[in-house]
Every structure is written in structure tokens, then in C-alpha cells.
């Protein structure tokens, strides 16, 4: 029942993802959510985010931000990053995941998505046919509508972890 929301991978942080290994596996584009994926909600790009995008560029990755936020928020974050971005993306609609791949010159087979929410980020990426990585939220302070979704996410993640544990046995 919850499987359609299960991420392909689940890691502690965007900053522990082995992007070099993923590039070796054939991935060429990375689509990112911003808030609580790269920085706390509403924060500008920090040194860690700037270094990550430089690292991705050095590896050879194309990148694109897709956010449900308005342009002012996304533009402010992207000021020191300088990558492609799509604002007001209406995730989990697949339209802007596809648009991001077009912008990057990638396709479903060589693109991955990184985000912190199951019902918008991961579900949209899954529906678009993109390999997805769920990360734990960076900061607990969130808007009320996200707090409510997090309660539902805990239920889905319980069954996700249970399935992982059973598949290992």
C-alpha cells in the first residue's frame, strides 16, 4: 500500500551521498530540492552547499534545483550556487522533473533526485521515473503543513524500514 512512496535510497544527509560513485555508475544529472535538503528552511546557501555544487561540477554532473517556493526564495539560495533552477514547481507533478532533465540534457536513466519529503519530492521523482534519494531533514523547524506531512511520513518510513530489514534476513 505504501510502496509507491518508498524511496530508492534513504540516507542521513545530502552531504554523505557518494556522488563520485554515482557518476561512475552512469548518472550525469542531479535534481535537488532546497529547503531541509541542502540548507535549513529559508536559509541562503552556506559554504557546505557551495562546495557541494562545485564538487558536482568538478565531477561532471549537471544540476538543477526544483522547488515549490516562489522565485525570490530560490533565486536567493542560488545566488552563490549558480546552477539551473525551477521555482513554483508544483511537486509532486512530474512536469518540472521532466523540464529539469531537459534543461540539464539528461534523461530518466541518468538522472537522480535528492529531497527530504516523501509525498512531494520522492513521489514526484518516482512518478517521473527518476532514481531518488530521500535525506533526513536538516532542521526540525518547519511550516505547519510540512509538520503534518511528517507524521504521515513516519508511518510510511516505518514500513519502508521493515521491508528493508526483512529483505536482509
Structure confidence at residue 80 (pLDDT): 95
Cβ–Cβ under 8 Å, residues 52 and 14: yes
- For residue 151, give the CATH number of its domain: 3.40.50.1000
Structure confidence at residue 145 (pLDDT): 67
How many structural domains compose the chain?
1
Average pLDDT over residues 138-152: 72
3-17, 24-38, 120-134, 149-163: range with lowest mean pLDDT? 149-163
Average pLDDT over residues 55-73: 97
Alpha carbons 166 and 62: distance in angstroms, whole number: 36
Structure confidence at residue 1 (pLDDT): 67
Average pLDDT over residues 52-79: 97
Average pLDDT over residues 128-142: 89
3-state secondary structure 29-80: EEEECCECCCECCCCCCCHHHHHHHHHHHHHCCEEEEECCCCHHHHHHHHCC
pLDDT reading at 111 higher than 80? yes
Give kind and range of the element (H or E) at residue 114.
Answer: strand 111-115
* C-alpha distances out from residue 153 to 23, 109, 117, 144, Å: 29, 27, 8, 14
Instruction: Give percent of the chain above pLDDT 70.
Output: 93
Task: Domain of residue 109: give its range.
Answer: 3-168
Confidence band, pLDDT 50/70/90 cuts, at residue 144: low
Structure confidence at residue 159 (pLDDT): 86
**Residue 64: which of 110, 31, 92 has the closest Cα?**
31
Amino acid at each position: 500500500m505504501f510502496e509507491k512512496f518508498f524511496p530508492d535510497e534513504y540516507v542521513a544527509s545530502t552531504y554523505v551521498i557518494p556522488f563520485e560513485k554515482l557518476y561512475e555508475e552512469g548518472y550525469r544529472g542531479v535534481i535537488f530540492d532546497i529547503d531541509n535538503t541542502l540548507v535549513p528552511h529559508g536559509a541562503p546557501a552556506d559554504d557546505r552547499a557551495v562546495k557541494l555544487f562545485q564538487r558536482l561540477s568538478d565531477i561532471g554532473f549537471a544540476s538543477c534545483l526544483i522547488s515549490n517556493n516562489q522565485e525570490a526564495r530560490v533565486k536567493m539560495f542560488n545566488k552563490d550556487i549558480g546552477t539551473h533552477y525551477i521555482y513554483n514547481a508544483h511537486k509532486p507533478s512530474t512536469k518540472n522533473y521532466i523540464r529539469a532533465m531537459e534543461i540539464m540534457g539528461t534523461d530518466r536513466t541518468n538522472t537522480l533526485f535528492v529531497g527530504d519529503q516523501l509525498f512531494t519530492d520522492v513521489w514526484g521523482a518516482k512518478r517521473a521515473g527518476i532514481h531518488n534519494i530521500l535525506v533526513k531533514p536538516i532542521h526540525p523547524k518547519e511550516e505547519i503543513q510540512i509538520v503534518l506531512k511528517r507524521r504521515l511520513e513516519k508511518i510510511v518510513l516505518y514500513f519502508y524500514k521493515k521491508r528493508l530489514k526483512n529483505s536482509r534476513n
